[in-house]
Amino acid sequence: MALIGWQFAPRIESVEPSEGDLHGQQPLAIKFTRPMYADDADSWFTMEPAQPGQYSWNEDGTQLTFTPNRAWPAGETITLRMVGNPRSRLRLPLLGKFYTELNISPIFMTYLWPADQASNLYLINPVSGESQALTEEINGILDYSISADGEQIYYSSTRENGISVIMVLDRSSNTSGEITTCADGLCT
């Protein structure tokens, strides 16, 4: 009987995003191997330093998502723990202790470079001076804007055929997608 309980007991499968990728108001997701009893999740999930935010579960109860009310503290370390007695929907206790530390990404500045030719978007860490290219648009970037939560960067560019486009770069997934094209004018 103990072996059956051990087999069906819930475990933590993963924490997303992984270390160093947490930034802005990005949600933090904890995935479990079994559907969990969700009514008291906020009483057994602790975070140091404490962050105000909302907890939510996916439909099948296997993923707890924490969305902070304000930006994560840039450059700091967050300690996550499961305390108390988290249980699955079958009322089996979570196996093992859970403790992890996540380093929050430092503050980055976004800029266009170079100024005298086709510019692209870059990030720079103002403390370390490390720079990273975000886009590789052949005709360069005309203009850009960052969403309030820092998760998306919207930018305008032109294609080889002269058509202007507005794109969005999702910082979480590092993917770009086209929002709209402007065949008869310049989109900025």
Q: Is the pLDDT of residue 134 over 90?
A: yes
Residues 6+ apart with CB under 8 A from 26: 17, 72, 149, 151, 172
Which segments within 22-163 are labelled E, that is strand? 28-32, 45-48, 53-57, 63-68, 77-82, 98-103, 109-113, 120-124, 131-133, 141-146, 152-158
6 three-class SS: helix
Q: Is the pLDDT of residue 1 over 60?
A: no
- Closest among 78, 62, 61 to 22, alpha carbons compared: 78
Region 143-148 average pLDDT: 90
102-125 pLDDT, tens digit per residue, is 888 888 899 999 989 999 999 998
pLDDT band at 186 (very low <50, low <70, confident <90, very high): confident
Which pTM value belongs to this model? 0.69
Q: State residue 19's pLDDT score.
A: 59
Specify the amino acid at residue 62: T
Region 87-108 average pLDDT: 85
4 three-class SS: helix
Sign of the dihedral through C-alpha 20, 21, 23, 27: negative
> How is residue 64 written in tokens?
């707890």
Q: Is the pLDDT of residue 39 over 80?
A: no
The better pLDDT of the pair 95, 40 is held by 95
Q: Tokens 């499961």 — which residue?
A: 82
pLDDT band at 20 (very low <50, low <70, confident <90, very high): low
Q: Is the pLDDT of residue 3 over 80?
A: no
Region 75-98 average pLDDT: 85
- Closest among 2, 82, 89, 84 to 37, alpha carbons compared: 89
Q: Is the peptide bond before 35 cis (omega within 30 degrees of 0)?
A: no
Q: What angle do CA 166, 148, 139 make, to 5 degrees?
A: 25
* DSSP tag of 161: T
Q: Is the pLDDT of residue 143 over 50?
A: yes
Range name among 18-32, 108-122, 160-174 with the lowest pLDDT average: 18-32
The better pLDDT of the pair 188, 177 is held by 177
